[in-house]
Structure 1
Amino acid sequence: MDTLFMILSIVLCIIFPPAALLCFNFVPQMKVGYNFVIHFVVNIILCVLFYLPGIIHAFLLLFGIAQKFC
């Protein structure tokens, strides 16, 4: 993964995790597929209820998926 994209992903994960998931889904080789909608909704719910679990969920998704494609 590009260093700039990784830094942007980390910053977005901390500031607004659902936005990081949206940006990550638009990278063509790293699309999550149909599960993306489920993860996106779960992340929004986690962020609304408890902010920290939303951040952790975004980090797990972004860097777990990134490991598969790097």
Structure 2
Amino acid sequence: MAFTASDICKIVFAVLLPPLGVFLERGCGGDLCINILLTILGYIPGIIHALYIILKY
């Protein structure tokens, strides 16, 4: 699986601001709501979820 420049940008956004990375990958939906909740509860779970979403799709 090759990474494109947009994937690398999404990963950088996911580390800096996890909901933004998820929004860029999946749009506004259930994944974004889950990520916002995880980011509020703890920054690291939000990052892990965002990276999972970006690398899965």
Q: Normalising TM by the smaller chain, what interval?
A: 0.7 to 0.9
Residue in 2 that maps onto 1:60: 52
Q: Whose Rg is larger?
A: 1
**Identity %, equivalent residues:** 30
TM-score by length of 2: 0.82
Tell me the distance in 1 between the aligned counterparts of 2:24 and 2:53.
Answer: 12
Pair 1:20-2:21 in alignment = yes
Question: Which residue does 2:30 correspond to in 1?
Answer: 38
Given that residues 19 and 36 in structure 2 are in contact (C-alpha distance below 8 angstroms), is that contact kept between their aligned partners in structure 1?
yes
Residue pair 2:7, 2:54 contacting (<8 A) in 1 also: no
The one-letter amino acid paired with 1:7 is: I
Q: TM-score, normalised by structure 1?
A: 0.69
Q: CA deviation at 1:24?
A: 1.6
**Structure 1 residues not aligned, in runs of 5+:** 27-35, 66-70
1:10 positional shift: 1.2
CA–CA distance in 1 between the matches of 2:37 and 2:7? 24
Runs of 4+ in 1 over 2 A off after TM superposition: none
**1:23-69 deviations in Å (ceiling 9; x for gaps):** 1236xxxxxxxxx611111100100110000000011111111xxxx
